[in-house]
Amino acid sequence: MAAAGGAPPAPPVQPVQPPLPGPLQVFVPYNPRVASTRVRVHHWLQRTGIAAQVHDWAALGNHGVGTLARHPVGVARAELQLRRRESHGSFDRVLVQRQVSPFSGGPLERRILTGAGLGVYDFDDALMTMPRAGVQRLFPKAEACRAGVTYADRVLAGSEYLAGWAQDYCTDVRLIPTCVEVGDYRGKADYDLADPPRLVWLGSPATEHHLRHVAAAVARANEAFGARLAVISAGDRDLGPLTPFVDRVQWYPGVESTLADYDLGLAPLLDEPLARGKCAYKMLQYGAAGLPVVATPLGANAQVGAELGVAFADGVEAWTDAVMGLLSAGAAERAAVGTKARGQTQRSYSYDAWQDAWLRAVGEVD
């Protein structure tokens, strides 16, 4: 108790807890079925075999309102576990991918990153452009991303576009592209067209709307060659005018090994803020399989596509011309394009090419 007329006694000094030594602590928002988490975190951990403890928030595949509502117990448990982990003190090294919790909006990311001896933040989408209106206010991805790049000691960005933005917030930003394990892809050997020709698009349900860009091109290819478009995705949305020409293939782990069965890969992007931060993963998957590719030259697609030698198309007429041109070309021409793409993918965008840089980035080696 304070003496009469005197100042209250100072609170006892709390000793500063040093970071706990041990494995890399990894915080991911989704389960490994989600491409971003799988290829930018889980595959690196499996490939390198480094000691790591993974905290996957509720182990869900998305954070849509319906999904969260169907898993109330898992959501509550995930939030409780996060608070318990915070109470255990700081860690030696932490890797946060995208966001710690869909409800955080920054405070959790700040505390976990700043409490570590080395706090690393990884992102591969233009999350800072996510809308903040309506129901999205409940899931503030933009705020979580901004906190991640602001409070991390080091930021790993999946593209030059994202790295450029992050440099306004962090002094140590490293480009680590979204890589492919080329050995997991069977290389295309026969470049004669199937009968009928088989086009392919591989992606997530959230990106299927980009297929609007290629509806006219696919319709023309179907008219001229009988071509069909395989849409490999976990989605089932109505694809509008594309529907008559589409064969849906449900995504499953390892489906990338089938890409060599197709004649041409499509990588369209609509010009929108989120698309500009895409990291060309779809194009790299096609390249790993040795497929000729037509792509929109937007964001990382432009740089990666130029290196791989893909056919660029921007606009309805350009897409139609590019698709028809590759289908009309001879097998030798398609083989030259596909072979170049596979070789360049291995040299510049494979896990082999970037493993040392990734290990240094997460503090595993100096």
- Is there a single domain that holds both residue 79 and residue 36? yes
Q: Per mean pLDDT, which of 3-17, 48-62, 349-363 is the most reliable? A: 349-363
The set of residues, in sequence order, having a beta carbon less than 8 Å from that of 286 and lying 6+ positions away, is 200, 202, 259, 265, 267, 293, 341
Instruction: Write down the pLDDT at residue 134.
Output: 59
In a domain, 205, yes or no: yes
Spatial neighbors of 294 by CB under 8 A, at least 6 apart, are 217, 264, 265, 266, 267, 310, 311, 312, 313, 319, 322, 323, 326
| pLDDT at residue 251, as a whole number | 94
- In b/e form, how buried is each residue of 300-334, taking b as 16+ CB within 10 angstroms? bbbebbebbbbbbbbeeebbbbbbbebbebeeeeb
Lowest-pLDDT range, 24-33, 83-92, 172-181?
Answer: 83-92
Residues 46 and 165 grouped into a single domain? yes
Tokens of 252: 């499953």
Q: Are 28 and 129 part of one and the same domain? A: yes
In this structure, the answer to whether residues 263 and 242 fall within a common structural domain is yes
Tokens 């170049």 belong to residue: 340
Q: 273 and 174 in one domain?
A: no
Q: Are 41 and 29 in contact (CB under 8 A)?
A: no
Domain annotation covers residue 12: no
User: Which structural domain, as residue segments, surrounds residue 216?
Assistant: 182-349
Q: Are residues 344 and 202 in the same domain?
A: yes
Examine the pLDDT at 8 and tell me if it is beyond 50: no
Establish if 97 belongs to a structural domain. Answer: yes
Domain with residue 322: its CATH number is 3.40.50.2000
Q: Which of 192, 181, 210 is nearest to 264 (CA)?
A: 192
Look over the chain and give the mean of its residue pLDDT values, rounded to a whole number.
Answer: 90
Q: What is the pLDDT of residues 277-328, one digit of tens each?
A: 999 999 999 999 999 999 999 999 999 999 999 999 999 999 999 999 999 9
Q: Quickly state the pLDDT bin for 130 (edges 50, 70, 90).
A: confident
User: DSSP labels for 173-200?
Assistant: EEE----B-GGGSPPP---SPPSS-EEE
Kindly report, residue by residue over 263-279, the tens digit of the pLDDT. Answer: 999 999 999 999 999 99
Q: What is the mean pLDDT of residues 328-344?
A: 98
What pLDDT, in 10s, does the model give residues 37-60?
Answer: 999 999 999 999 999 999 998 787
Which residue carries 């499996």 as its tokens? 46
Q: How confident is the model at residue 104 (pLDDT cuts 50, 70, 90)?
A: confident
In this prediction the pTM is 0.89
53 is a domain residue? yes
Share of the chain above pLDDT 90, in %: 76
288 is a domain residue? yes
**Residue 255 domain flag:** yes
* Model pLDDT, residue 85: 76
pLDDT of residue 17: 41
Residue 7 lies in a domain: no
Distances (CA, A) of 241 to 122, 176, 217: 37, 37, 11
Give domain status of residue 256, yes or no. yes
Which has more confidence, 267 or 15?
Answer: 267
Residue 169 has pLDDT above 90, yes or no: yes
- The number of distinct structural domains making up the chain is 2
Residue pair 327/264 in contact by the 8 Å Cβ criterion? yes
Q: In this predicted model, what pLDDT tens digit does every residue of 214-248 receive, in sequence order? A: 999 999 999 999 999 999 999 989 999 999 999 99
Of 105-114, 183-192, 278-287, 345-354, which range is least confident?
A: 105-114
User: Based on the domain organization, do 175 and 208 belong to the same domain?
Assistant: no
DSSP state of 20: B
